[in-house]
Structure 1
């Protein structure tokens, strides 16, 4: 084999992931989920007590919906334990997608909760039901529930964004829907207190719409990760690679993963040196440049001979088309970067 002409594959980022950083992340997520689990169980108990006391079906339905919060926390704890970046024989790309699967489970719980709300409202609309009663003590209980939900939602969202945790962000989104539901239920019960019995029923429908919206937000945030949607615009990767001295051409660029957590990048590369060692050194510089700009990455580079120069930097994008799409690609990268580092 000729050392100065044979193309070769080099895989970078093959060193072990930063386990210390991951286990710190895992511990923080678990701590948040355990705290919110305790608070969510308290919320469920308060809602059931007040719902039974007042006879409010909407509040009892809300309590059933809040049970999904506790189930979400348990689901989050399980997926957090499974979602390791460390590869093994059966999962060579790690296990981090378990977290996205857990977030989709939350979206499913939201769908079930929405169905239960609409079902309960429909039954009350077409059948006779006992009148709902309300008093000041019940209202104070509901205000306590509202305060707990607000704390949980903003706490989970803040920590989730800081850590880049999909499961915490999704659970915070779910809890936000609980806040609006609780406000709507309180409004209905205050209306009942004032003698407007039908208000409790009417408010159930907009509450259901809010729950549907929360489920869609969670679903749309996690499907791209599971479907291996582009993680970084190929134009942005191309820009960084071409800054490395000795690089002649870079094409067939692809990326997937979660920006800021773990990204997998593939590309074909042509370099000026023709010997294997020099080419390898340049690919190491390419890897370092990409990790410096985009964060943790496993980069696979296929080095090709000079005759393999191509204009198409990625699938369906040629260098001639690049200038016209640069603004769009920069915006796409900025949006990804902002969403995972906010």
Structure 2
């Protein structure tokens, strides 16, 4: 492992993730100065390397991973129980919608296994081949959940189409089967709220995505339960009709998971450049800040780049200003890795970020 990776591992394992606001001394995890032909200096600050700064909801990586693994293991056991109950009742009654729902629940168990694998891979600790860490594996796992949802939707619609075209055995239903389904519904409700609560507390995309998937299970099971109650009362076609809204609910769940994770994978802006600019300009000695960019996941880790102009002075003083900027960004936005490109005063720009001219600002004159 590289030196920076070793330092990260040591600091995280010692639980030294503290916020900048507690006033403790900073020691750089990584700091680099590069001289360019026009006299520029580049400073990179590893937010966790400064004896770490922690957002209130940010825990050490190992504690975080252990909690996510524990939640996924518990929900895996419960989801397997749900699958078995649905398959038994679905086979017993001949209900198409219930068998389709059982298939959807199989994807829940597969999602848990996928989550356990990506949880093991998704480390924030950088190494030679992954200098920005491995956290996007978690987003990839969430996209895998979206893919499973798409497969489940296809199977539901295919089964409904076959029954419409070729017919099928009539559905039979009794009170015992309905009680089994009520137990299944209760398990799903517990799993969804448990995963969502822990996922929001930890900031875990994989748990939140899996909770969204399980939430779709709740609505699906309720729809199936309603259809089977109709069958019990003699309305045979209700089971078939309800297979279609079930498929729509599955598609919606997949879209929610997809839209929540794609921005992270394509490096969408993590923090508005105007917000970063406002924080930086509060630091004494800063004259101008522009070309601001950010990516990552707020609350977990954000990578920030910027060009900075400070009062004409020596390199050490400029370095101290960048230190203060890094501390302030860490305090306001949680875990960050900041790269600052220091420029001479002649490089002042009015556009603080990339793209349109709408984010231009009034700059200080000489």
The residue aligned with 1:129 is 168
Matching residue within 187, 200, 203 for 1:161: 200
What is the DSSP-based 3-state SS (H/G/I as helix, E as strand, rest coil) of the residue aligned with 1:313?
A: coil
Q: Distance in 1 between matches of 2:174 and 2:357?
A: 69
Q: CA deviation at 1:128?
A: 2.0
The runs of at least 4 aligned residues of structure 1 exceeding 2 Å deviation read 14-20, 316-323
**1:277 equivalent among 313, 316, 319:** 316
* Alpha-carbon separation, structure 2, partners of 1:195 and 1:319: 64
Q: Which of these residues, 220, 225, 228, is aligned with residue 189 of structure 1? A: 228
- Shift of the alpha carbon at 1:6? 2.8
Separation in 2, partners of 1:158, 1:322: 41
Query: What's the CA shift string for 1:71-104, capped at 9, x where partnerless?
Result: 0000000000000000000000000000000000
**2:132 match: secondary structure:** coil
SS for the counterpart of 1:95 is: coil
What's the secondary structure of 1:312's corresponding residue? coil
Q: Which has the higher helix share?
A: 1
Name the counterpart of 2:39.
Answer: 6
Distance, in Å, in 2 between the alignment partners of 1:322 and 1:149 is 51
Distance 1:320 1:198, change over 3 A: closer
Partner-residue secondary structure (3-state), 2:223 = helix
Aligned counterpart for 2:191 among listed residues 136, 146, 152: 152
CA RMSD of aligned residues (A): 1.9
Is 2:351–2:361's contact at 8 Å kept on the other side of the alignment? Answer: no
SS in 1 for 2:46: coil
How high is the TM-score relative to the length of structure 2?
A: 0.85
TM-score by length of 1: 0.91
Query: Which SS does the other structure have where 2:60 is aligned?
Result: helix
Q: In 2, Cα distance between the equivalents of 1:274 and 1:118?
A: 69
Q: Structure 2 residue aligned with 1:23, among 62, 67, 77?
A: 62
Is contact 1:311-1:318 (8 Å) kept? no
Find the residue that maps to 1:144 and give its secondary structure: helix
Shift in CA distance, 89/199, structure 1 to aligned 2, threshold 3 Å: same
SS in 2 for 1:10: strand
Residue by residue over 1:157-204, the C-alpha shift from the partner in whole angstroms, topping out at 9 and shown as x without a partner, is 111011000000000000011111111111111111111000000001
Deviation at 1:273, TM superposition (A): 3.6
1:318 is displaced (CA, Å) by 5.0
Separation (CA, whole Å) in 1 of partners of 2:165 and 2:276: 59
Aligned pairs (5 A) from 1:1-342:
6-13=39-46, 16=49, 21-317=60-356, 321-322=360-361
Q: What per-residue deviation string (whole Å, max 9, x for no partner) do you get for residues 81-135 of structure 1?
A: 0000000000000000000000000000000000000001111111121111000
- Is the partner of 1:252 in helix, strand or coil? strand
Pair 1:28–1:200, CA change in 2 (3 A): same
Q: Secondary structure at the match of 1:23?
A: helix
Whole-Å separation in 1 of the counterparts to 2:43 and 2:312: 15
1:58 positional shift: 1.7
Query: What's the secondary structure of 1:134's corresponding residue?
Result: coil
Report what 1:339 is aligned to: none
Gaps of 5+ in 1: 324-342
The Cα offsets for residues 274-308 of structure 1, whole Å up to 9 and x where unpaired, read as 21000000000000010000000000000001111
| 1:330 aligned partner | none
How far does residue 8 in structure 1 lie from its aligned partner after superposition? Answer: 0.7
Per-residue deviation, 1:319:
8.0
Which whole-Å CA distance do the structure 2 matches of 1:236 and 1:61 have between them? 48
- The question of whether the paired residues in 1 share the 8 Å contact of 2:352 and 2:359 is answered with no
| In 1: Cα distance, 2:346 partner to 2:358 partner | 17
Contact 1:235 1:322 in 2 (8 A): no
CA distance in 2, matches of 1:277, 1:56: 74
Distance in 2 (CA, whole Å) between partners of 1:93 and 1:58 is 45
Report if aligned partners of 1:311, 1:319 keep a CA contact under 8 Å in 2. Answer: no
Q: Which moved more, 1:184-193 or 1:7-16?
A: 7-16
After superposition, the Cα gap between the structure-2 partners of 1:33 and 1:15, relative to the gap in structure 1 and judged at 3 Å, is closer
